[in-house]
Structure 1
Amino acid sequence: MSIEGSPVVLITGASTGIGHAAAHLFAERGWRGAATMRNPSASAAPAQDQHVAVLPLDVTDPASVKAAVAATLEQFGRIDVVVNNAGYGLFGPFEKASDEQIRLQFATNVDGVFAVTREVLPAMRRQGSGTIINVASLGGLITLPFFSLYHATKFAVVGFTESLSFELAPLGIRAKVIAPGGVATDFAGRSLAQTFAEGEHAYGNTLSKVMAAMTARRGNYSSPKSIAETIFTAATDGTGRVLYLAGPDAEQAFALRQSLSEAERLEMVRQHSGL
């Protein structure tokens, strides 16, 4: 198949990390499409050419979502796969999270997925085909302390995707969810916000233990490219499979979770978190 007739992908959050790696991988394998991000001029965006459009898209802004989807359809005529990757983590005690922090966490991680998905579905219905791939997290299946709001959003994405898969299947459209484990990106820096300021508070002792355990675990994470490979598999395997664990740690942790009783699972989380 020539590049002119190749399938088209739209990827959100493509400025860094998983989204950036996915945009490069799809392009390397002959796909056309849009690599979208909030501010293309301020990021290491993929090279733009006639087959790759680098577009602004803020998933929290409905007008921005509409404009990016319309621009993709205008340039390429169709959208075969959407990768809803834009998102970030919010870490810290729930009690100390502000209303605005809570709103933005859900606006980005959940409402953004809804907005992009709803905007592309009419085109996919007209085609009679398409695949929605939502990047959730192992944190949409398993919890850790002080990520309650992040987990709430990712559990929502997992549940949304599975239910959506049933209603879209008769239309020839698939819905799939990716659950990466630890990824060697800047998630713990640029992509991780905190609900708390430095200083003494009621959660300080527990928080210190959890942060120390998190620091000790770093270093054995998957690369963004390996997660992008899982995304590409989900986009091209042609199956009705919905959940894709991404990374050895995700596969091991989920298998262990499935084998444990609730009491055993909760104790495992406590030990893993240094509590």
Structure 2
Amino acid sequence: MKTILITGTSSGIGKATAKKFLNAGWNVIATMRSPEKEEELKNSNAMLVMKLEVTDMNSIQKAIDAGIEKFGKIDALMNNAGFGTFGAFETATQKQVEELFNVNVYGYLNVTRAILPHFRENGKGTLLNVSSQGGRITFPTCSLYHATKFAIEGFTESLSYELISENIEVKIIEPGATDTSFVGSANMGENDSIINYQKFDKIALETYGKLNEKSQSTSDEIAEVILEAANDKSGQLRYIIGEDTKRLLNARNTMTDQEYVDYMRGTYIPEFWDKKINTSI
């Protein structure tokens, strides 16, 4: 029986994936910041719920060690813990910027670094990094979030070349809009002294919501693709999820760079883009 360690399983994609792998016959090490609050995932001998802070190497190592002690070995790691900050970059505080990169980027690097010696010792392993469509395309008001996801895309793609030498599979998961209320629960900029962006932020986020509400993937649908990726030995690197992701990546791949940028401006911030065009004429 194979074993997977998953970060960020308290809700959303992480929790759905933990259930999916358990039902598929895997042992699951479900990690989260507050395991004492979790009840649903504790009802199986094949499930180990552990505390894990992706910014704390001691916490990470304890979760890995406990998983190995209970199940004998770990076959796969899914880096999933993360959050988004939406709003104009200038309105974000330094604390917000650091917290976002500490979790979304350094957190992935920390857990990956901790598990690789075990994978090498086993002579194999699978690394699944949950990125986003936002790791390859961008939207207004998401500059900081995109910075973290572009970093994960570059890190993971390059790492995939390195780890071929160690027989370690590497996968990038790229969901689009989801039903996890990710945008609604995300932190907006905290610098209230800057009011210039308020109208832009409001209109851009409302437009994003309207354009993507009909193409949202469920957490269960995303979890199904992640399970397929974990079992896929074809060497495939990226797994695209959602009609919105497919549509936008197709646009990016078939248009010239400037055509694509103008398309996104006209689609997601038409009020501001049209005004700029008209005043430039």
TM-score norm. by structure 1 comes to 0.93
C-alpha separation in 2, matches of 1:16 and 1:252: 27
> Paired residue for 1:53, among 11, 32, 48?
48
Partner of 2:221: 226
Post-superposition, which runs of at least 4 consecutive aligned residues in structure 1 deviate over 4 A?
Answer: 197-200
C-alpha separation in 1, matches of 2:82 and 2:37: 17
Partner of 1:12: 7
Note the 1:189-200 alignment, pairs <5 A: 189-190=184-185, 192-196=186-190
* CA offset digits 1:123-174 (Å, max 9, x no partner): 1001111010000000000001111110000001111111000100111101
Task: Please state which structure has a larger fraction of its residues in helix.
Answer: 2
The count of corresponding residues between Structure 1 and Structure 2 is 269
218-227 or 164-173: bigger deviation: 218-227
Greater CA radius of gyration, 1 or 2? 2
Whether 2:71 is the aligned partner of 1:71: answer no
Identical aligned residues as a percent: 39
C-alpha separation in 1, matches of 2:7 and 2:40: 12
C-alpha separation in 2, matches of 1:153 and 1:196: 19
Unaligned runs of 5+ in 1: 1-5
Amino acid aligned to 1:201? I
Query: What is the Cα deviation at residue 60 of structure 1?
Result: 1.6
C-alpha separation in 2, matches of 1:63 and 1:233: 31
C-alpha separation in 1, matches of 2:49 and 2:269: 43
CA contact (8 A) 2:86 2:183 kept: no
C-alpha separation in 2, matches of 1:42 and 1:268: 45
Partner of 2:25: 30
SS at structure 2 position matched to 1:49: coil
CA contact (8 A) 2:229 2:239 kept: yes
TM-score norm. by structure 2 comes to 0.91
C-alpha separation in 1, matches of 2:142 and 2:97: 12
> Paired residue for 1:203, among 197, 207, 214?
197
Q: What RMSD, in angstroms, separates the aligned Cα atoms of the two structures?
A: 1.5
SS at structure 2 position matched to 1:30: coil
Unaligned runs of 5+ in 2: 271-281
Whether 2:109 is the aligned partner of 1:114: answer yes
Note the 1:243-254 alignment, pairs <5 A: 243-254=238-249
CA contact (8 A) 2:124 2:166 kept: yes
C-alpha separation in 2, matches of 1:128 and 1:108: 29
